[in-house]
Amino acid sequence: MSTWEATGIGSHPGENHLETIRLVFGEVPGLPYLPELPARGVGADMIGRTAALLVDLPVEVQPSGWRLSDRPGRDHRRAVDHLRRDIDGLEEIGHDYSGPLKLQVCGPWTLAGAIELKFGDKILSDAGAVRDLTASLAQGLADHCAEVRRRLPGVSEIVVQLDEPGLPGVLAGTVPTASGFGRLAAVEEWRVEESLRLFGDPVVHCCAPGVPYDLLRRAGVRGVSVDAALLRRKEEDALGEIVEAGMALFLGVVPGRDVRLPDAGAVAKPAVELWRRLGFDPERLAGQVVLTPACGLAGASPQYARAALAACRKAAQVLKEDPASGMQGG
């Protein structure tokens, strides 16, 4: 895992997928990924892009958002076309690449809270529909991974990232109904644990407050991806157990929108200080922590997106070369 060092969350600004794939392979060579470009419109957004992978569950866009439909229509085909072009681009840029590759999709619970049933409320309102959606996504994602492996035979492993910004709301019962006037019932933790096991050993990304660390550890996920700025001291015991279990910690250390970026030492500081508070051996830090932007970069300028990835990579070098830096004193 130590060679991963740094990576991105997934989304990027602009509409040129070839240029963005080239940027990703250049700036985070330890763990490059297939970027998402939501600025391209319908079907390039997180929900539509993931819905393109669903098996036997076509979707369409209604004024209220994405909804299940009887058959694949224009919106569904557009989402599939975006993804197909992206994989073509990935093959063109990364044809001779060897190493790990990250693929990210919207997780089943955030997806269920965003897509509506054909006639009625969101998928999240119907436990049977959620099971169908989860099974469809697990199959579609497995097919997607298999195609990427076929196109890029040098890929040593595929790291799957499930984006679950809606998960804390699903567990707390704060997801609004389709009408917006009510709230959908809270989902039991065991259901979420059970569903995550269908995806092998994913990294779960959640850039919202209230990440359910204990649940994710029990589900046996490979790692968690969180915004360092949202970490609270009361969560650190649960985070320590994640690290103790040998799971990866993807730590968001630079903002997803344009700011003036500090030097590599300052970017690395949240990871160094967290590690010191948790009381783990400094030598383990670079091997278990992967530095990332705090969230997707879709709202940033292209120049900043490049600088943000470069800053994460340089900060990861600081952790690697001098793991005890910043750990002196209190």
- At 262-313, the pLDDT tens digits run 999 999 999 999 999 999 999 999 999 999 999 999 999 999 999 999 999 9
- Angle, vertex CA 144, rays to CA 129 and CA 201, nearest 5: 75
- Predicted local distance difference test score (pLDDT) of residue 1: 54
- Predicted local distance difference test score (pLDDT) of residue 330: 36
The encoded tokens of residue 198 equal 């269908």
- Tell me the β-bridge partners of 126: none
- Predicted local distance difference test score (pLDDT) of residue 323: 61
- Predicted local distance difference test score (pLDDT) of residue 324: 60
Q: What contacts 89, CB < 8 A, 6 or more positions away?
A: 17, 18, 21
For residue 298, is it left (φ>0), alpha (ψ between -120 and 50) or beta? alpha
- Predicted local distance difference test score (pLDDT) of residue 314: 97
- Predicted local distance difference test score (pLDDT) of residue 64: 87
- Tell me the β-bridge partners of 36: 11
- Tell me the β-bridge partners of 61: 66
Q: What contacts 196, CB < 8 A, 6 or more positions away?
A: 162, 202, 204, 216, 219, 220, 221
Return d(Cα 46, Cα 104) in angstroms, integer. Answer: 9
CB–CB of 132/83 below 8 Å? no
322, containing H or E segment:
none
Task: Identify the three-state secondary structure at position 293.
Answer: strand
Pairing assessment for the beta strands 65-68 and 59-62 based on DSSP bridges: antiparallel
- Predicted local distance difference test score (pLDDT) of residue 327: 47
What does pTM read for this prediction? Answer: 0.95
- Predicted local distance difference test score (pLDDT) of residue 329: 38
- Predicted local distance difference test score (pLDDT) of residue 3: 76
Q: What contacts 188, CB < 8 A, 6 or more positions away?
A: none
**Segments of the chain scoring below 50 in pLDDT:** 326-330
DSSP annotation string for 115-168: SBPSSSSBGGG-HHHHHHHHHHHHHHHHHHHHHHHHH-TTEEEEEEEEE-TTHH
Question: How long a stretch of residues is the chain?
Answer: 330
